[in-house]
Amino acid sequence: MTRKPKNIFVEGPISSEKIATSIQNHSSKTDIGAHSIFLGQIRADEKEGSTVRAIDYTAYEDMALEKAFEIREAIFEKYPLTCMHIYHSLGEVKVGEISLFVFTSSKHRKAAINACEELVERIKKELPVWGKELLESEEATWKENT
Amino acid sequence: MLAEKLPQPKFEFPYQKDSDELLKALNQEYPFLEDLKFSLAVDKQLVQEKTPLKGSEEIALLPPFSGG
User: Is B39 domain-assigned?
Assistant: yes
User: Is B3 domain-assigned?
Assistant: no
Rounded to the nearest angstrom, the minimum Cα separation between A43 and chain B is 11
> Cβ contacts (< 8 Å) between A120 and chain B: which residues?
68
- Mean pLDDT value across residues A88-108: 98
B68 lies within 8 A of chain A by CB? yes
The closest CB to that of B67, out of A62, A66, A124, belongs to: A124
pLDDT band at B60 (very low <50, low <70, confident <90, very high): very high
pLDDT band at A113 (very low <50, low <70, confident <90, very high): very high
User: Is B27 domain-assigned?
Assistant: yes
User: Domains plus CATH for chain A?
Assistant: 9-22+32-142 (3.90.1170.40)
User: Is B45 domain-assigned?
Assistant: yes
A104: left (phi over 0), alpha (psi -120 to 50) or beta: beta
User: Is B54 domain-assigned?
Assistant: yes
> Cβ contacts (< 8 Å) between A143 and chain B: which residues?
66
Looking at residue A107, its amino acid is: K
Number of structural domains found in chain B: 1
Instruction: Give dist(CA B44, CA A50) in Å, integer.
Output: 36
User: Is B23 domain-assigned?
Assistant: yes
User: Is B58 domain-assigned?
Assistant: yes
CA distances from A122 to A54, A64, B1, B62 (A): 23, 12, 23, 17
- Mean pLDDT value across residues A74-88: 98
Instruction: Give dist(CA B58, CA B42) in Å, integer.
Output: 6
* Domain span holding position B26: 19-62
Give the pLDDT of residue A32: 98
pLDDT band at A1 (very low <50, low <70, confident <90, very high): low
User: Is B6 domain-assigned?
Assistant: no
Tell whether the model's pLDDT for residue A94 goes beyond 60.
Answer: yes
Decide if A10 contacts A98 (C-beta within 8 A). Answer: no
Tell whether the model's pLDDT for residue A58 goes beyond 80.
Answer: yes
Instruction: Give dist(CA A102, CA B25) in Å, integer.
Output: 40
Rounded to the nearest angstrom, the minimum Cα separation between A30 and chain B is 30
Q: How many CB pairs below 8 Å do chains A and B form together?
A: 55
